[in-house]
Structure 1
Amino acid sequence: MKKTESLYVVIAGCGRIGSIVATSLSVSGSNVVVIDTDETALENLPEEFTGFKINGDVTEISVLREARLDKADVLVALTGDDNTNFMVSTVAKRFFGVKRVIARVNDPSNEDIFKEFDIDIVSPTRLTAMSILRELGVRET
């Protein structure tokens, strides 16, 4: 993996997606903090991950302060819950002043509210559907 500009990134959620993103950013030279309530998920990060791990709830301000979110270049909200991702994303932008916020949005009907708050989104549901339709040669409606 090529080296990229070194960023300070806080990642909320260490499931499959969070683990891949955290490890890739860490290997590329970014400073990464991963937060998850599941200690096992944090323990399962690969050896290549050289960032920090916080076992805690991203909806608690004290946990976000511990992660030094006020110093972050980017927050990436990757929990499996849209409400949690929205909450931590808006708090990151409005309370901690994080300039770039990217959130996972599972339910496409929630995308507009994230966009209204200037939160960049990635929808695994929409991406999967688009990939399947593309494989079938069908355009998304």
Structure 2
Amino acid sequence: MHIVIMGCGRVGSTVAHSLESRGHSVAVIDQDGDAFRRLPADFSGITVTGVGFDREVLIQAGIERADCFAAVSSGDNSNIISARLARETFGVPNVVARIYDQNRAEVYERLGIPTVATVRWTAMRIVRQLLPEETGEVWRDPTSVVSIVEAPLHADWIGRPLTALEEAAGTRAAYVMRFGLGILPTVSTVLQDGDQLFMLVTDEIAAAVRKVTGSAPTAH
């Protein structure tokens, strides 16, 4: 998987190191060449000096073959412009942006671009957003039997009833994040583009549930 990161501050360098350590191809963009010093000495990915919403800079970073794009520079405007360019012009399927202004973040969530904030939490949240198949649990009950995990959501589930997905997965959804807000599912809940899905699982079924939610529905 090839992932392009715009911004090599504390978050960007942390995310780049985490992704590369998992075996992914990583490219990092920053307009300040000195920023790449934050990357580990053994970083073997691509570094491109330039503005993250410049088409040629993005192409140098491999945006045309990118599976994911993360905009984590220090500027809200730069992040959202580059995120929209990655998604709308280059068709990158998985895009996430760091936004400092919470009011603006809600607006961009409605555009279908997940947004996150704060350094350590941001780095881990971006990794989970870019690599949903490797997502860990977000909660576990005191008896260590039941947990809530963020599950990948295949595009073909969009527009279908959540109850159909629950039936296929053999478990219930704990909640759905939509437009930056958590909602409790009902029998009438229909999955929408940009939804983040959190499922109730046990250790025995966690992998199977993720496989179901991350795959296209099977025909009956």
TM-score (norm 2): 0.52
Query: Could you report, residue by residue, the CA deviation over 1:23-51 in whole angstroms, capped at 9, with x for unpaired residues?
Result: 11111101000000111111331123221
More helix per residue: 1 or 2?
Answer: 1
**Contact 2:8/2:38 (8 A) holds in 1:** no
**Which of 40, 49, 58 is the equivalent residue of 2:43?**
49
Code of the aligned partner of 2:35: A
Summarize the alignment of residues 1-141 of structure 1 with structure 2, pairs less than 5 Å apart.
Answer: 7-124=1-118
Q: Which has the higher strand share?
A: 2
Higher relative contact order (CA 8 A, sep 6+): 1
Q: Give the structure 1 partner of residue 137 of structure 2.
A: none
Point out where structure 1 has 5 or more consecutive residues left out of the alignment.
Answer: 1-6, 129-141
The separation in 1 between residues aligned to 2:46 and 2:108, in whole angstroms, is: 27
Larger Rg: 2
Q: Residues 103 and 119 of structure 1 are in contact (CA less than 8 Å); yes or no, is this contact kept in structure 2?
A: yes
Tell whether the 8 Å contact from 2:20 to 2:26 is kept in structure 1 after alignment. yes
Larger displacement relative to structure 2 (59-68 or 91-100):
59-68
The residue type paired with residue 15 of structure 1 is G
Q: Is the 8 A contact 1:105 1:124 kept in 2?
A: no
For residues 20 and 49 of structure 1, what CA distance do their matches in structure 2 show? Answer: 11
Moved more, 63-72 or 11-20: 63-72
Structure-1 separation of matches of 2:94 and 2:8: 19
Q: Give 2:165's aligned residue.
A: none
- The SS at the match of 1:14 is coil
One-letter identity of the residue aligned with 2:9 = G
What residue in structure 2 maps to residue 137 of structure 1?
A: none
Over the aligned positions, Cα root-mean-square deviation in angstroms equals 1.6
Q: Give the superposition deviation at 1:70.
A: 1.7
Moved more, 109-118 or 70-79: 109-118
Q: Would you say the 8 A contact 1:27–1:50 is kept in 2? A: no
Q: Distance in 1 between matches of 2:117 and 2:104?
A: 10
Identical amino acids, percent of aligned pairs? 36
Mean Cα displacement is larger for which, 69-78 or 48-57? 48-57
* Residues 63-96 of structure 1: CA deviation (Å, up to 9, x unaligned): 0111121211100000011111100000111000
Number of residue-to-residue matches in the alignment = 121
